[in-house]
Amino acid sequence: MKQILSKVIGLENLGNSIYRLTFEAPEIADKVAPGQFVNIRISEEYSPLLRRPFSVYNKTGKNLQILFNAVGRGTNILSIKKEGDKLDVIGPLGNSFSLSGQFETALLVGGGMGVASLPLLCAAIQNKIIHVVTFVGAKNKESLIVDNLRNVICATDDGSKGFRGNVVSLVEQHINEMNVVKPKIFACGPPPMLRAISELAKKYKILCEVSIESAMACGIGICQGCPVERIGTANKYSLVCKDGPIFDSNTIKFVLHD
Ligand SMILES: Cc1cc2nc3c(=O)[nH]c(=O)nc-3n(C[C@H](O)[C@H](O)[C@H](O)COP(=O)(O)OP(=O)(O)OC[C@H]3O[C@@H](n4cnc5c(N)ncnc54)[C@H](O)[C@@H]3O)c2cc1C
Ligand code: FES
């Protein structure tokens, strides 16, 4: 893990309020594994005080990319960064997706911004003899991000592209209609999606890893501010930032706040 003062290389608006930010981070790019994240200090001012975590979306040489949705104060400030601006970044943080285990087909599932943790995983799987199918879900076709992914099948809530409905229903349809050999699911997305995919994995007895999002402060296991309740593990709670963000879906108690 390194803390670096990085330089912004570029910021692209991909439509709606979704942005792709590229910044120089050779020390982090060297070490980052699929599913890991960086914790970014948004501004040199005291507000917002807390860093914001983002999955590493891609790496190209010494540069890293994140994909973000401008939903609040921090991400709105990020959305006006300019080439050459400085960015205080800590990473790579957290654990990574595991390619171990008995499986021959990787089912990658990304809902909303959850798709950000899939391209590095796709690239890592490319060197293995594993069949990949990627399921991407979004509100509508304008919000779909499918760059740097393989064998993509889309779902949109409004049916403007691909399957009409949620991405978990699309995965279930695929499992029922296609001959999927020894699958393992790798999923990242909002909590209701993760709970649904974990129930699906249980129903079909499929290995499943989920990447959990949680509000974070330190991002490195000190403040105890990101607990997730576990099932059937030695510890009742784990920290998303240090023990995760990737967990076996069977070991997570999903608590949804409406
Ligand atoms: C491990 C990890 C990886 C993450 N990776 C990404 C990523 O790759 N891309 C990305 O865009 N985000 C990602 N997030 C979430 C990201 O950290 C939040 O989007 C960010 O903290 C929002 O900060 P903000 O200051 O803009 O919003 P805040 O001002 O903190 O929140 C403003 C409002 O937005 C709501 N909000 C906060 N987060 C979200 C969200 N994710 N979706 C919808 N509404 C939200 C809050 O509930 C609040 O109402 C990740 C989080 C974790 C823990
Ligand atoms: S964010 Fe501080 S312990 Fe996880």
**Tens digits of residue pLDDT in 4-27:** 999 999 999 999 899 999 999 999
Regarding the domain delimited by 2-93, which CATH topology (the fold level of the hierarchy) does it fall under? Answer: Elongation Factor Tu (Ef-tu); domain 3 (2.40.30)
DSSP letter string, 91-125: EEES------SS-SEEEEEEEGGGGGGSHHHHHHH
pLDDT 10s digits, 66-77: 999 999 999 999
Domain ranges of the chain: 2-93, 105-251
- The SS3 call for residue 55 is strand
Answer yes or no: is the C-beta of 67 below 6 A from any ligand 1 atom. yes
**pLDDT of res. 247:** 97
Of 118, 108, 117, 164, give the one whose Cα is nearest residue 140: 164
Single pTM value for the model: 0.95
Which ligand 2 atom minimizes the distance to the CA of 239?
4
Ligand approaching nearest to the C-alpha of 213: 1
Answer yes or no: is the C-beta of 246 below 6 A from any ligand 1 atom. no
At 88, list the tokens. 């205080």
Residue located nearest, by CA, to atom 46 of ligand 1: 72
Instruction: Report whether pLDDT(197) > 60.
Output: yes
Structural contact between residues 18 and 67, judged by C-beta atoms closer than 8 angstroms = yes
Residue located nearest, by CA, to atom 48 of ligand 1: 72
105-251 under CATH 3.30.1490.20, yes or no: no
Question: Who lines ligand 2 at CB under 6 A?
Answer: 216-219, 221-226, 239, 241
Answer yes or no: is the C-beta of 112 below 6 A from any ligand 1 atom. no
